[in-house]
């Protein structure tokens, strides 16, 4: 994932109301019923999404990724930033 390292690490996000989750075990599918837009998350993405749902900051989410996957904190922040930017572009969070 190409990262967007300009996000504030203390920032939190709000989920778009009405987004539907379908849990397929190995991936979590997000569906925006208004646009029919679909977004598929792998294991890392699932951790990031649940962090966003709990209004956790980028820093907190990255720490969880560091704990659960074999990545450095810096890499975790880069990966989380990239996905968060994609979710913002898709209108699923703001």
Positions that interact with other proteins (CB under 8 A): 20-25, 27, 29, 31, 33, 36, 38, 40
* Smaller CB separation from other proteins, 41 or 93: 41
* Smaller CB separation from other proteins, 10 or 25: 25
Cα–Cα distance measured from residue 52 to residue 33, given in angstroms and rounded to the nearest whole number: 19
Cα–Cα distance measured from residue 27 to residue 44, given in angstroms and rounded to the nearest whole number: 10
In whole angstroms, the minimum distance from the beta carbon of 34 to other proteins comes to: 9
In whole angstroms, the minimum distance from the beta carbon of 17 to other proteins comes to: 11
Place of tokens 């990966």: 79
Cα–Cα distance measured from residue 49 to residue 53, given in angstroms and rounded to the nearest whole number: 6
Tokens found for residue 32: 């925006």
* Smaller CB separation from other proteins, 20 or 55: 20
């Amino acid at each position: 994932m190409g990262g967007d390292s300009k996000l504030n690490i203390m920032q939190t996000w709000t989920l778009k109301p009405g987004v539907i989750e379908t849990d397929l075990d190995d991936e979590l599918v997000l569906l925006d019923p208004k646009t029919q837009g679909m977004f598929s998350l792998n294991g890392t993405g699932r951790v990031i999404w649940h962090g966003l749902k709990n209004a956790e900051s980028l820093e907190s989410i990255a720490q969880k990724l560091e704990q659960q996957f074999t990545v450095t904190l810096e890499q975790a922040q880069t990966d989380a930033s990239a996905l968060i930017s994609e979710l913002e572009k898709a209108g699923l969070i703001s």
